[in-house]
A and B are shown apart, each in its own frame.
Chain A
Amino acid sequence: MKNRPAELIAKFVDEKLRAGNKGTSEEELEGTLDKVLVLFRYIQGKDVFEAFYKKDLAKRLLLSKSASIDAEKSMITKLKTECGSQFTNKLEGMFKDIELSKEINESFKQSSQARTKLPSGIEMSVHVLTTGYWPTYPPMDVRLPHELNVYQDIFKEFYLSKHSGRRLMWQNSLGHCVLKADFPKGKKELAVSLFQTVVLMLFNDAQNLCFQDIKESTGIEDKELRRTLQSLACGKVRVLQKIPKGKDVDDDDSFVFNDQFTAPLYRIKVNAIQMKETVEENTSTTERVFQDRQYQVDAAIVRIMKTRKVLSHTLLITELFQQLKFPIKPGDLKKRIESLIDREYLERDKNNPQIYNYLA
């Protein structure tokens, strides 16, 4: 596939910009990014690059995994000089969201709502993300524990009092938490996902729960819940025990709090089980890119015809090839032109079918 290089370059940049890459100095990193950009110039599917780059950037920003915000911004500037601001608008928007979120969280903490109404013992920080800038995440349902619900509602009230007319939607699948856990053999802090949290908090009030109970009380989607339970009871860090033992989660399995749990460190990260991310996510990212291309072709045709009003087929095709940033066959352009004729954006000239007229 033609877009493979674009994808791999995006992945390489992600690796370089991610934290834990401590060995390299700022100058070395800059040098590497400049070399990447030379390669970038030669790839044809720049939109494929953008889609993968954006997905990885989102992860770095939301999980604070970025090695250096300066390096991030320098990369964006390089892309901007290369492809124009249209290409980087959304990426820059993501940085803006992160910065604004910091301010919002600060003023929320100072607000009267937060000081009078918040349940004690919980700290929360919220990222407010603009739809359209970020990759799309499928919404996932979950029934939150009461304390978290209260927290969300108070934040929402605060936010909407400052920005009326906006709509806030919680992306539960992106949430993560740090929990204090009292194991008989020692206190621990667990770094977990929001879904893992919701499951673990059920065990505050119960010793033993079966799969169906957990499913009912959490409202987490079946597959997602199985993955979550697997990560808590079958992974490296087993804070729960599954009965009977085994790798997979079955309908009639039950789970108990692991009172024998020990670990050398105080702070423990319980890794979520990764979905077969590379295959599924990858194809959906690619599919979305191809979908987007169709809209981009349509938009480019309409844009050109709107300024030119009348244009011959050959000239239209030439202009399209200049404007579009990805490889496309002339036949596919024709299909889009014909579709626009069908939808009455264009018509063929009555006297010369080689000429298109723009229909306002």
Chain B
Amino acid sequence: MNKLGRGQRDKVQQFMSITGSSEKVAVQALKASDWQFEGAFDIFYSHSHAKSAADTRHLEELYNRYKDPYADMILVDGITLLCNDLQVDPQDIVMLVVSWHMKAATMCEFSKQEFITGLQSLGIDSMDKLKERIPFMRSELKDEQKFREIYNYAFGWAKEKGQKSLALDTAIGMWQLLFAEKQWPLVDHWCQFLQARHNKAISRDTWSQLLEFARIVDPALSNYDPEGAWPYLIDEFVDYLTEHGIIQKGKLNDWSYKL
């Protein structure tokens, strides 16, 4: 500990307070990741605890607390109870991150397998530990790479089982939630455009390309290439923006909305 510089010592303290780990573990994780928080958290959460193999029987008891009385799954009521225990709003985007970690196939559902192996791989064996992990999960949304993975995962998670595309209403709801996190000034225009002009389900390709569009093309569209491979719906959106005078010659006119 003495060998550590002051900045490093601060980081160890912070790391310990977030993860509740011992000093030794904190130093190991931070050293292994070159004193970057992100990497250290990953190491800490994916390795050290996973190995301690949470007791399956204990997890099964936990599962039974939320299990639906009529099916071998956790359904809406179970999720509501789970959110209650976590003191998280079921509409909170962090529930998407939880589901992403647990590789849940469908929104508002956990199979027994998803629930138990999900928690195991997170190294979590009690609700308290999961609750402690929530702030970290929320911070994962700030990571661009992780955000993209979560965003793309959200498509399959939110769509109806057996359907290929995502119902428009659900898609709009998810976009508003996700782009509240990663701010994209055109999101409200996009949703209005879809309701006015499209009114059909959204394909996976359009879904994933929209994030790229929001990421790469600046809100004034100055680097938008109409000859590019953007899905036709996005091209039509650009036409719509110009038609409605929202964008003019590479300038975004209306900055009055949520900034």
Count A interface residues, CB 8 Å.
15
Residue A354 CB within 8 A of the other chain: yes
Determine how close the nearest CB of chain B comes to the CB of A301; give it in whole angstroms.
Answer: 13
Q: Are A334 and B228 in contact (CB-based, < 8 A)?
A: no
Determine how close the nearest CB of chain A comes to the CB of B215; give it in whole angstroms.
Answer: 11
Q: How far is the CA of A348 from the CA of B204 in the complex (A)?
A: 11
Q: Which residues of A contact B229 (CB under 8 A)?
A: 312-314, 334, 348, 353-356
Residue B176 CB within 8 A of the other chain: no
Q: Are B235 and A334 in contact (CB-based, < 8 A)?
A: yes
Given contacts A313-B228, A313-B229, contact A338 B235 (CB under 8 A): no
Residue A138 CB within 8 A of the other chain: no
Determine how close the nearest CB of chain B comes to the CB of A349; give it in whole angstroms.
Answer: 10
Residue B206 CB within 8 A of the other chain: yes
Q: Are A331 and B205 in contact (CB-based, < 8 A)?
A: no
Please encode chain A, from 330 to 360, with 1 for each CB lying within 8 Å of some chain B CB and 0 for all others. Answer: 1100110010011000001000011110000
Please encode chain B, from 228 to 259, with 1 for each CB lying within 8 Å of some chain A CB and 0 for all others. Answer: 11011001100000000000000000000000
Q: Which residues of A contact B235 (CB under 8 A)?
A: 331, 334
Q: How far is the CA of A33 from the CA of B227 in the complex (A)?
A: 41
Q: How far is the CA of A353 from the CA of B234 in the complex (A)?
A: 14
Q: Are A348 and B228 in contact (CB-based, < 8 A)?
A: no
Q: Are A354 and B203 in contact (CB-based, < 8 A)?
A: no
Given contacts A331-B235, A353-B212, contact A338 B228 (CB under 8 A): no
A355, closest chain B residue (CB) = B229
Which of B164, B212, B231 is close to A334, meaning CB atoms less than 8 Å apart? B231
Q: How far is the CA of A341 from the CA of B209 in the complex (A)?
A: 12
Q: Which residues of A contact B203 (CB under 8 A)?
A: 338, 341-342
Q: Are B228 and A331 in contact (CB-based, < 8 A)?
A: no
Chain B residues 187 to 242 lying within 8 A of chain A, measured CB to CB, are 203-206, 208-209, 212, 227-229, 231-232, 235-236
Determine how close the nearest CB of chain B comes to the CB of A315; give it in whole angstroms.
Answer: 11
Determine how close the nearest CB of chain A comes to the CB of B228; give it in whole angstroms.
Answer: 6
Q: Are B232 and A331 in contact (CB-based, < 8 A)?
A: yes
Q: Which residues of B contact A341 (CB under 8 A)?
A: 203, 205
Q: Are A338 and B206 in contact (CB-based, < 8 A)?
A: yes
Q: How far is the CA of A354 from the CA of B208 in the complex (A)?
A: 13
Q: How far is the CA of A348 from the CA of B208 in the complex (A)?
A: 10
Please encode chain B, from 103 to 136, with 1 for each CB lying within 8 Å of some chain A CB and 0 for all others. Answer: 0000000000000000000000000000000000
Q: Are B232 and A348 in contact (CB-based, < 8 A)?
A: no
Q: Which residues of B contact A334 (CB under 8 A)?
A: 229, 231-232, 235
Determine how close the nearest CB of chain B comes to the CB of A14; give it in whole angstroms.
Answer: 38
Q: Which residues of A contact B206 (CB under 8 A)?
A: 338
Q: Are B209 and A353 in contact (CB-based, < 8 A)?
A: yes
Chain B residues 141 to 183 lying within 8 A of chain A, measured CB to CB, are 164-165
Determine how close the nearest CB of chain B comes to the CB of A224; give it in whole angstroms.
Answer: 39
Q: How far is the CA of A313 from the CA of B206 in the complex (A)?
A: 15
Q: Are A338 and B212 in contact (CB-based, < 8 A)?
A: no
B164, closest chain A residue (CB) = A342
Q: How far is the CA of A348 from the CA of B205 in the complex (A)?
A: 8
Which of A335, A342, A354, A356 is close to B228, meaning CB atoms less than 8 Å apart? A354
Q: Which residues of A contact B164 (CB under 8 A)?
A: 342
Q: Which residues of B contact A355 (CB under 8 A)?
A: 229
Which of B205, B209, B227 is close to A342, meaning CB atoms less than 8 Å apart? B205
Determine how close the nearest CB of chain B comes to the CB of A30; give it in whole angstroms.
Answer: 45
Q: How far is the CA of A313 from the CA of B212 in the complex (A)?
A: 16
Determine how close the nearest CB of chain A comes to the CB of B156; give it in whole angstroms.
Answer: 14
Determine how close the nearest CB of chain A comes to the CB of B216; give it in whole angstroms.
Answer: 9
Determine how close the nearest CB of chain B comes to the CB of A7; give it in whole angstroms.
Answer: 29
Please encode chain A, from 299 to 319, with 1 for each CB lying within 8 Å of some chain B CB and 0 for all others. Answer: 000000000000011100000
Determine how close the nearest CB of chain A comes to the CB of B203; give it in whole angstroms.
Answer: 5
Q: Are B205 and A314 in contact (CB-based, < 8 A)?
A: no
Q: Which residues of B contact A353 (CB under 8 A)?
A: 209, 212, 229
B205, closest chain A residue (CB) = A341
Please encode chain A, from 186 to 222, with 1 for each CB lying within 8 Å of some chain B CB and 0 for all others. Answer: 0000000000000000000000000000000000000
Q: How far is the CA of A197 from the CA of B140 in the complex (A)?
A: 81
Q: How far is the CA of A196 from the CA of B257 in the complex (A)?
A: 73
Chain A residues 273 to 328 lying within 8 A of chain B, measured CB to CB, are 312-314
Q: How far is the CA of A330 from the CA of B230 in the complex (A)?
A: 12
Q: How far is the CA of A313 from the CA of B165 in the complex (A)?
A: 23
Determine how close the nearest CB of chain B comes to the CB of A221; give it in whole angstroms.
Answer: 37
Q: How far is the CA of A243 from the CA of B92 in the complex (A)?
A: 80
Give 14 CB contacts A-B under 8 Å.
Answer: A313-B228, A314-B227, A331-B235, A334-B229, A334-B232, A334-B235, A335-B232, A338-B203, A338-B231, A342-B164, A342-B204, A348-B229, A353-B209, A355-B229
Starting from the known contacts A330-B227, A334-B232, A353-B229, 5 additional A-B residue pairs (CB-CB under 8 Å) come to A313-B228, A313-B229, A314-B229, A338-B205, A353-B212
The 6 closest A-B pairs by CB, nearest first: A313-B229, A334-B232, A354-B229, A341-B205, A342-B203, A331-B232
